[in-house]
């Protein structure tokens, strides 16, 4: 069965610092992986997705993620945090052969210190 | 291009009642998925509709049911509401051939008292 585990329910960084949000996956088939962002009182917005092409995936708002099969990881990074990056971030995996099902992690809340 | 919209924004019901939530998909999208997001948790997949037929279901009881209409809008119905049904309900739409690239609406916050 497919699943994702997000390490750290809350991450706090200073404005301008590196953002690193950790995600490990478990999948019985080659995974399709996603990162979503959720701002307060809003729905989810797709940041980026990995579909077995390039292992380094670039997304919106300066975020990128690297797929590492040997580590079963798909960590999200951004070189320089901005105050507007404060939000909840969810790692997700497609539900096996069923493209209809997206399985989400429990989320990581990112806070940015001035 | 109009995004995914949901109504109502907020809803308060009492235990045992029934509720209907509505979703209008993004223009050109024929697939709608519904998710339940409890407070402090990630969304959980309820079911997906494609061309008016259920196309996958998560681990939710039959009192959670849905419909999709010819214009691809959708409804989520929940019968016999329980306190644990209190959550944010998210609708997401996707286009033909790309069911895993889902665009989410802002959600409906359901409170069951």
Mean pLDDT score, A8-32: 93
Distance (Å) from the alpha carbon of A109 to chain B's nearest alpha carbon: 10
To the nearest whole Å, the CA of B45 is away from the closest chain A CA by: 6
C-alpha span between B45 and B66 (Å, rounded)? 13
Q: Tell me the average pLDDT across A28-49.
A: 89
Q: Which two tokens stand for residue B26?
A: 């993004």
**Would you call B31 helix, strand, or coil by DSSP?**
strand
User: How many CB pairs (< 8 A) connect A and B?
Assistant: 62
* CB-closest option in A94, A99, A104 to B42: A104
The mean pLDDT value of chain B amounts to: 93
Give mean pLDDT, residues A14-19. Answer: 98
Confidence of residue B87 (pLDDT cuts 50, 70, 90): very high
- pLDDT (mean) for B56-68: 94
Q: Does B55 touch chain A (CB under 8 A)?
A: yes
- According to the model, what pLDDT value does residue B96 have? 84
CA-CA distance, B65 to B77, in Å (whole number)?
Answer: 5
Q: Which chain B residues contact residue A105 at CB under 8 A? A: 42
Tell whether the model's pLDDT for residue B98 goes beyond 90: no
Contact A94/B90, CB-based, under 8 Å?
Answer: no
Residue range B3-23, pLDDT digits in tens: 899 999 999 999 999 999 999
Q: Decide if B33 and A34 are in contact by the 8 Å CB cutoff.
A: no
pLDDT category of residue A52 using cuts at 50, 70 and 90: confident
Average pLDDT score over residue span B88-92: 96
């Amino acid at each position: 069965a497919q699943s994702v585990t997000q390490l750290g329910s809350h991450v706090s960084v200073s404005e301008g610092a590196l953002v690193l949000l950790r995600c490990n996956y478990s999948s019985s088939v080659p995974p399709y992986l996603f990162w979503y962002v959720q701002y307060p009182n809003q729905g989810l917005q797709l940041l980026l997705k990995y579909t077995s092409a390039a292992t380094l995936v670039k997304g919106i708002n300066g975020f990128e993620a690297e797929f590492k099969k040997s580590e079963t990881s798909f960590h999200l990074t951004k070189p320089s945090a901005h105050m507007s990056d404060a939000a909840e971030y969810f790692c997700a995996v497609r539900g096996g052969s069923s493209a209809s099902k997206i399985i989400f992690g429990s989320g990581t809340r990112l806070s940015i210190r001035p | 291009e109009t995004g995914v919209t949901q109504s109502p924004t907020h809803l308060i019901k009492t235990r045992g009642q029934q509720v209907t939530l509505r979703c209008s998909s993004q223009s050109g999208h024929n697939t709608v998925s519904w998710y339940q997001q409890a407070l402090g948790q990630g969304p959980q997949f309820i079911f997906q509709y494609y061309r008016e037929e259920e196309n996958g279901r998560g681990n939710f009881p039959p009192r959670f049911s849905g419909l999709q209409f010819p214009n691809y809008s959708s409804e989520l119905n929940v019968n016999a509401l329980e306190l644990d049904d209190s959550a944010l309900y998210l609708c997401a739409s996707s286009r033909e051939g790309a069911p895993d690239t889902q665009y989410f609406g802002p959600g409906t916050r359901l409170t069951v008292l």
